[in-house]
Amino acid sequence: MPDQRNMMIAVSPELTIVVGKPEAVVIPAQAIALAYNLGTISDCATFAIAGYGRLDELVAQQAVGTRIVLLVSAAVLDRMERATPAPDAWQTFHIPSDLRMIALALRECDVAGEAGELYRAAKAVELLCETLRMRDGALLQPLVATGALPRSHSLRIMAARRVIDERWNEKLSLGQIATICGLNRESLTRGFREMFHCSIAEALAHRRLDQASRMLLTTDLPIASIGYENGYENNASFARAFGRKYGLSPSDYRAQKLAA
C-alpha cells in the first residue's frame, strides 16, 4: 500500500494529486494549484488557489502529511468554462465542511492498488468541481479579516462553524462550542453573526433541517423518527421548524419531491 502521508498520483497529463511531500511530482502544463490544509475539527482548515507562476512558492510552504494539492492544467478550467486564476494569483479561503469531507475521503482512502487510485481520482475530480462551483458562486469565505474581526478571531469562528457542520447531531450547547473553538460565549455569538449573518442556534437548525430533508427523501422512516434523530423532541416542533424553512410540512415535502 502506498504511503498515505506522502504520495503522488498522475491521474492524467492534466491532473496530478499530491498528498504530503513526495520525492517527485508531475506538474501539468500551465498548472494551477488547489492546496487544502485540512487541520482538525477544532483548528485551522484552509485552502489556497494559486496561479502557475506561484507553484514553487506553494510547494515550499507545503507541510508533510497535512495537505492535499491538486495540480490542474488551465485547459481543464477552460473546458469547464470556469475562470482561470492569473499566473501570479494567490487566494486563500476557509474550507467549508463539505469540501473538507471530500478531501479527507481522498486522503484517508485505505484501498490498495488500482482500485485505490481510481477512488482517489474520482474524489479529486469531485473536490475540484465542488471547489470551483463554490468559488464562482461566491460561496467561500476568504481568509482575511472580516469587518472588525482580526484574522485569528475569524479562524476560531470558522472552527465553530465546522463543529456545527460536522457534529450537528450531538447535543451541542453554546458553551461547548465556545470551549472547543477557544472563544468566550459573547465573542463567539457576536463574531458568528458578523461572519454568517445568523445565530449559532439558527445555523444548527439549518444543518439539522437540511439533514432531515435528505432523510425524508432517502429513507422510509416515519416523520416523527426523522425529527427526533435530528434533535426535535416532538413532531409538532419539527413540523413547525421544517415548514418555516421549506414552506411545506415534512409529509407534503416528501410526497411532492418523490412524485416529481
Give the pLDDT confidence of 178-202 residue by residue, as tens digits. Answer: 998 888 999 999 888 888 888 999 9
Q: What percent of the chain has pLDDT over 70?
A: 91
Q: Which DSSP symbol is given to 14?
A: T
Host domain of residue 17: 7-136
Contact status, residue 57 vs residue 49, Cβ threshold 8 Å? no
Please check whether residues 25 and 124 belong to one and the same domain.
yes
Same domain, 156 and 113: no
- The answer to the question of residue 118 being in a domain is yes
Number of structural domains (the chain) is 3
pLDDT confidence band for 1 (50 / 70 / 90)? very low
**pTM for the complete prediction?**
0.69
Q: Count of H helices and E strands in the chain?
A: 11, 6
C-alpha cell at 118: 481510481
Domain match, 182 and 237 both: no
104 and 171 share one domain: no
Residues 181 and 218 in one domain: no
- At 22-81, the pLDDT tens digits run 878 888 989 999 999 876 544 567 888 999 898 888 777 755 456 899 999 999 999 998
One domain, residues 89 and 27: yes
- Single out the residue in 104, 136, 168 at which a domain terminates: 136
Between CA 134 and CA 67 the distance in angstroms is 20
**193 and 207 housed in the same domain:** no
CA angle 155, 108, 117 (to 5 degrees): 125
